[in-house]
Structure 1
Amino acid sequence: MTDDSGADLAWETLYGETAYMCPGFDIQREQVRLPDGTETDFDYLSESASVVVLPFTADGEVVVIEEWRQAVKRVNRGLPAGGVEGEDVDLEATAVRELEEETGYTTDSVEHLTTVEPANGISDAVFHYFVARDCEPAGEQSLDFNESIRVETTTLDALREGIRDGDVRDGRTAMGVLYYDAFA
């Protein structure tokens, strides 16, 4: 009989330290013991959880952002998203805050869509997805010092086609749009 708990697959952490710190994420280094007794190092990217918002206006348009992404040296079209901060306990409120900060749009209605670990082989990142309804422009963006964001609206069909055609390459956006399409 097999152990369905996964205990037979678990690694034992012998030691851990932060190998590198920078704004936005850390690199963790751990000394681990594998199930067969082998001891080895394991490094991973550690960052706070994030919220990702799929925001719809009252007329069914999707509010999207275009943001410069230095790592890939291009502008990416995507959904508003942001980190869960230390004082955040209500993820719905965090989603509303991030929507307003990045887009200037507000909403009174958000609902949880799904939660995923996008790259759990190399990162402890967790994305909490929310759908926002009846979003309205309410004012100015409140961007972080290192954000360059333009706000637009589009259709869900156009986003889906952009994902299919390779024009929308942001993984958070692809996951949110396609999950919504498949299950909401």
Structure 2
Amino acid sequence: MNLTETTISSEPVYDGVLLHVRRDEVRLPDGETSGREWIEHPGASAVIPLYANGDTVLLRQFRYPPRREFLEAPAGKFDRPGEAPEALAARELEEEAGIRAETFTPLGVTYPCIGYSNEVIHLFLAEGLSDGVAGADDDEFVAPVRMPLAEAVEMARAGNILDSKTCVALLLAQAHLDARGEE
């Protein structure tokens, strides 16, 4: 059974700095039509840095929409034309956490909001870490938190890390390390 919905028409509802809201009319698999409202997002990269001793760094950050602090993987959205996902991960790791990495291993992608957005987040494991120069955006306030990766993974499994991209990235990083025989 083909489940594809085909766009008949599309109109902008709101064009913001980051997000663009659209209203589409679609043809359903059964031939009927329906409306779809969705958010167009430029995409992002998120990275789990891993020190040789097994530590990682997450960022404590206040997020306005849910009005609370979260522990998150360093991450950011695409805002430079043609920027590659790995380059974005490297840039955000240094800007937000003050860390440079020699290698970035792709862990996969995740679509965090499939019911209302096309956002895709590219996930990476960063190794060969050294000090970089932190320089978060003027309106961005983050506090790096260094901890053992195993502790961060357990926090994700226990429901103490609530950011979905971070949970997915931590679990995929751990699975990658397990597959190569490391903890």
Q: TM-score, normalised by structure 2?
A: 0.89
- Could you tell me which runs of 5 or more consecutive residues in structure 1 were left unpaired when the two chains were aligned: none
Q: Note the 1:115-130 alignment, pairs <5 A.
A: 115-130=109-124
How far apart are the structure 2 equivalents of 1:47 and 1:145?
Answer: 21
- Could you tell me which runs of 5 or more consecutive residues in structure 2 were left unpaired when the two chains were aligned: 178-183
Contact 1:88 1:94 in 2 (8 A): no
Contact 1:44 1:123 in 2 (8 A): yes
2:143 paired with 1:150: yes
Q: Deviations over 1:1-45 (max 9, x none)?
A: xx6xxxx32212111022112232111110111122222210112
Contact 2:9 2:25 in 1 (8 A): yes
Shift of residue 113 of structure 1? Answer: 1.1
Cα separation, partners in 2 of 1:159 and 1:42, compared to 1, 3 Å: same
- Over the aligned positions, Cα root-mean-square deviation in angstroms equals 1.6
Q: Secondary structure at the match of 1:9?
A: coil
Which residue identity does 2:169 align to in structure 1? G
Matched pairs, number: 177
Which residue identity does 2:174 align to in structure 1? D
Cα separation, partners in 2 of 1:79 and 1:145, compared to 1, 3 Å: same
Aligned residues with identical type, % of pairs:
28
Q: 2:174 aligns with which of 166, 176, 181?
A: 181
Q: Secondary structure at the match of 2:50?
A: strand
Contact 1:57 1:134 in 2 (8 A): yes
Which residue identity does 1:123 align to in structure 2? S
Q: Secondary structure at the match of 1:158?
A: helix
Shift of residue 169 of structure 1? Answer: 0.8
Shift of residue 165 of structure 1? Answer: 2.9
2:88 paired with 1:94: yes
